[in-house]
């Protein structure tokens, strides 16, 4: 039966096709107007001109269009449901509570029924095609001249696949959208969390970030925990027993002071001053000597060079940095390392080194800092510091120049004690003795030198083999050929058996463990360490035999840097104030200076960073069953004050700004003051003035070459 393509509908009520003796009836009653919604006139072709595959494809197209129509209807329905519900479904894929599913009308039900029927027919046809090869051949014959069904099916498979792909793409797109939204939410949350953490970290690192400390009043102002930390360079422990330090002796009686404090090795100024503010051994903080070679940097550290201020040299975290990071304001006056801006942080108040600064200036500066506004006012850049660290080099300078057992050094010690007395009187006037702690320390002691106690380095090793020499008066050697180090070591070791006034060590093999002086590449591989009071020098620096023949003396007259356990190298620790209740000196076990940093931190209420120290406040007495601790005054070479040197050493004097000429003593004890002056006068009357003039000239000649370097380092 031929179908009229112009008719309004397909009259397929009774049409049939016989296939292999069997018939397959297809009956569809549908108004033409309904089909006009989905089919154009071009699509209404004769059934005789269509293959079964065409019919199948036609049905699938209709099904796809109806599904698309259904999807559009649902989309429109969702749009009408409101923007809020749409957003909820977009983000959370939930059907809003109480919302009913779209209603399906009668026409929709009929369309769904037709879809099911067409699906069954397609499945039945596919089954018949597989079961009966003859039917497949017949289909091929009646479609001679036309593309075979199998070919068309092959062509139609991509179409079906594309529809499936579009469906899966839509499904995957929905999943991707969900994943994007979920990932975006996670990223936003993570970003906010990161910003909060960064803000908290920055806020915690601010100087003023810490709870308001406990405040004490002196009657006119509020003070937080405050400590004045003073270092007397070169002040040997037994100097306190000379009867010329009344203020320090009173502090010992009223506070805490062991009989001595042990410095770190080597007992030199820069290593020990940095240990005093870090609590680290020199091998740990990196300042291993006053002068040393850094193999990695290919550079020499020299304490008199401006380059020594570069923070790359200074390891660890000094006390003022720790305090500033915790909101405790600090003032540092001329302390070694304070000008280096270590870790990018400076003290709130920084005073650079100057030879022109007198002891009077130091006293004035300390009291001036205490008089700054405090917590009763708004805190700003000029507010009062809680830590005041002060470096006093006078005793060390006099000790190097004249030797430790001289009236010049005694006079300088008296002047320094007078400075401490003036500071203490200033605290009394301000009613601060029960509020402010005063801690006085030294970095090392001092030993007298003599030309009879000299070692010429050329007698021990060929200098042509040496690339660098570190650590005067010790000798740390770096060889040009490192493979020769054991050979050189054994040669020097043999010589030490004949001259027992020096020891030789390899850093990585036999360096004494108690020195804590091996775990750093800045430490030279080979060390010659003289006995205390001896000195090692090259002929270029000081020719021993020629000087002896001329009757000359070796300068400097006082040295340090030796074995840190030797009595002549002992330092002091004297502390008084609210954090240091009275404890007899003989009941306190002496300790090493690695402990001081933690003690100062505790006195300020600051949490110290990890270091080598373990001692904390309060400092406890020894066991009550133990006997008191005693120590003997160490013996040292004592030059006769009546000795007249050879005329070859007598010369015209040159004035020196380094010499401390003041002989004032603390005014709190007039009787001792007059006795001390009388003693000094009697001593001075016995001295040959010509010898003093000659000695001063020689000392000044030695220091002259050093002064410019010192000035260039300490002053910009």
pLDDT at 200: 72
**CB neighbourhood size of 289 (10 A):** 25
Third-level CATH fold of 454-537: Gyrase A; domain 2 (3.30.1360)
| Spatial separation of the C-alpha atoms in residues 620 and 618, rounded to whole Å | 6
| Spatial separation of the C-alpha atoms in residues 686 and 590, rounded to whole Å | 38
Could you tell me the two tokens for 572?
Answer: 């002091």
- pLDDT, the chain, mean: 78
Taking a C-beta distance cutoff of 8 angstroms, is the pair 301, 294 a contact? yes
Q: What is the mean pLDDT of residues 370-389?
A: 85
Q: Does the annotation count 269 as an active-site position?
A: yes
Taking a C-beta distance cutoff of 8 angstroms, is the pair 696, 402 a contact? no
- CA-wise closest residue to 369 among 460, 436, 313: 436
| Spatial separation of the C-alpha atoms in residues 533 and 626, rounded to whole Å | 34
Domain boundaries, the chain: 50-162, 218-280+316-449+572-637, 454-537
pLDDT at 114: 78
- Residues with Cβ within 8 Å of residue 412, at least 6 apart in sequence: 394, 395, 397, 398, 660
Q: Is the pLDDT of residue 2 over 90?
A: no
pTM of the full predicted structure?
Answer: 0.64
pLDDT at 88: 53
Polymer length in residues for the chain: 716
CATH architecture, domain defined by 218-280+316-449+572-637: 3-Layer(aba) Sandwich (3.40)
Identified catalytic residue from 226, 227, 245, 269: 269
Q: What is the pLDDT of residues 22-76, one digit of tens each?
A: 444 434 444 444 444 444 455 554 555 566 667 777 777 788 787 788 888 887 7
Q: What is the pLDDT of residues 196-246, one digit of tens each?
A: 887 776 655 544 445 567 888 888 899 999 999 999 999 999 999 999 999
- CA-wise closest residue to 289 among 512, 508, 560: 560
Q: What is the pLDDT of residues 255-273, one digit of tens each?
A: 999 999 999 999 999 999 9
Q: What is the pLDDT of residues 671-714, one digit of tens each?
A: 444 444 444 444 333 334 343 444 444 444 545 455 555 555 55
φ, ψ dihedrals at 136, nearest 5°:
-65, -40
| Spatial separation of the C-alpha atoms in residues 480 and 483, rounded to whole Å | 9
Q: What is the mean pLDDT of residues 452-469?
A: 96
Question: In Å, how far from its chain's centre is CA 561?
Answer: 30
**CB neighbourhood size of 63 (10 A):** 16
Query: If residue 33 lies in a helix (H) or strand (E), which one and from where to where?
Result: helix 32-35
- Residues with Cβ within 8 Å of residue 42, at least 6 apart in sequence: none
Q: What is the DSSP letter of 459?
A: G
Could you tell me the two tokens for 205?
Answer: 């690192």
Q: What is the pLDDT of residues 272-309, one digit of tens each?
A: 999 999 999 999 999 999 999 999 999 999 999 999 99
């Amino acid at each position: 039966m031929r179908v009229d393509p112009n008719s309004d509908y397909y009259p397929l009520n009774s049409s049939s096709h016989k296939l292999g003796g069997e018939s397959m009836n297809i009956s569809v009653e549908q108004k033409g107007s309904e089909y006009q919604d989905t089919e154009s006139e071009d699509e209404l072709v004769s059934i005789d001109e269509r293959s079964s595959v065409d019919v199948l494809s036609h049905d699938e197209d209709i099904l796809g269009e109806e599904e698309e129509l259904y999807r559009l209807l649902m989309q429109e329905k969702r749009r009408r449901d409101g923007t809020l519900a749409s957003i909820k479904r977009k983000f959370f894929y939930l059907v809003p509570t109480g919302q009913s599913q779209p209603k399906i009308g009668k026409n929709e039900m009929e369309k769904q029924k037709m879809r099911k029927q067409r699906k069954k027919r397609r499945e039945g046809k596919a089954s018949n095609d597989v079961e009966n090869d003859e039917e497949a051949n017949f289909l091929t014959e009646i479609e001679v001249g036309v593309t075979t069904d199998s070919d068309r099916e092959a062509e139609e498979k991509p179409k079906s696949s594309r529809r499936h792909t579009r469906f899966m793409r839509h499904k995957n797109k929905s999943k991707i959208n969900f994943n994007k939204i979920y990932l975006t939410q996670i990223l936003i949350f993570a970003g906010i969390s990161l910003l909060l953490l960064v803000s908290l970290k920055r806020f915690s690192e601010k100087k003023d970030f810490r709870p308001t400390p406990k405040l004490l009043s002196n009657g006119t102002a509020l003070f937080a925990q405050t400590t004045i930390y003073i270092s007397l360079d070169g002040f040997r422990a037994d100097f306190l027993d000379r009867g010329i330090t009344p203020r320090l002796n009173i502090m010992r009686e009223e506070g805490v002071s062991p009989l001595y404090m042990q410095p770190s090795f080597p007992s030199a100024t820069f290593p020990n001053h940095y240990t005093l503010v870090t609590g680290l051994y020199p091998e740990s903080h990196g300042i291993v000597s006053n002068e040393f070679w850094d193999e990695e940097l290919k550079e020499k550290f020299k304490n008199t060079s401006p380059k020594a201020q570069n923070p790359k040299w200074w390891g660890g975290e000094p006390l003022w940095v720790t305090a500033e990071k915790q909101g405790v304001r600090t003032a540092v006056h001329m302390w070694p390392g304070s000008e280096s801006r270590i870790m990018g942080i400076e003290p709130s108040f920084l005073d650079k080194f100057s030879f022109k600064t007198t002891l009077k200036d130091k006293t004035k500066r300390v009291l001036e800092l205490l008089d700054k506004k405090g917590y009763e006012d708004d805190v700003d850049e000029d507010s009062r510091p809680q830590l005041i660290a002060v470096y006093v080099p006078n005793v060390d300078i006099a000790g190097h120049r004249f030797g430790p057992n001289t009236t010049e050094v005694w006079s300088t010690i008296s002047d320094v004690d007078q400075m401490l007395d003036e500071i203490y009187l200033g605290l009394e006037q301000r009613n601060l003795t029960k509020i402010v702690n005063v801690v006085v320390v030294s970095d090392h002691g001092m030993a007298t030198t003599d030309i009879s106690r000299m070692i010429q380095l050329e007698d021990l090793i060929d200098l042509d083999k040496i690339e660098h020499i570190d650590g005067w008066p010790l000798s740390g050697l770096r060889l040009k050929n490192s493979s020769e180090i054991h050979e050189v070591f054994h040669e020097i070791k043999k010589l030490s058996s004949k001259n027992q006034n020096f020891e030789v060590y390899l850093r990585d093999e036999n360096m004494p463990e108690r020195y804590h002086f091996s775990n750093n590449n800045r430490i030279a591989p080979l060390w010659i360490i003289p006995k205390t009071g001896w000195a090692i020098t090259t002929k270029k620096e000081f020719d021993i035999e020629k000087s002896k023949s001329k009757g000359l003396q070796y300068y400097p007259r006082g040295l340090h840097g030796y074995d840190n356990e030797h009595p002549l190298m002992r330092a002091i620790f004297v502390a008084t104030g609210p954090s240091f209740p009275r404890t007899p000196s003989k009941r306190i076990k002496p300790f090493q200076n690695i402990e001081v940093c933690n003690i100062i931190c505790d006195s300020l209420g600051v949490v110290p960073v990890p270091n080598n120290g373990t001692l904390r406040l309060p400092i406890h007495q020894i066991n009550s069953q133990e006997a008191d601790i005693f120590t003997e005054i160490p013996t040292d070479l004592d030059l006769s004050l009546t000795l007249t040197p050879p005329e070859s050493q007598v010369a015209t004097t040159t004035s020196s700004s380094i010499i401390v000429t003041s002989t004032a003593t603390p005014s709190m004890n007039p009787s001792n003051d007059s006795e001390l002056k009388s003693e000094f006068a009697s001593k001075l009357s016995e001295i040959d003035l010509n010898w003093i003039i000659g000695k001063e000239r020689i000392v000044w000649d030695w220091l002259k070459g050093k002064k410019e370097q010192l000035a260039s380092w300490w002053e910009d």
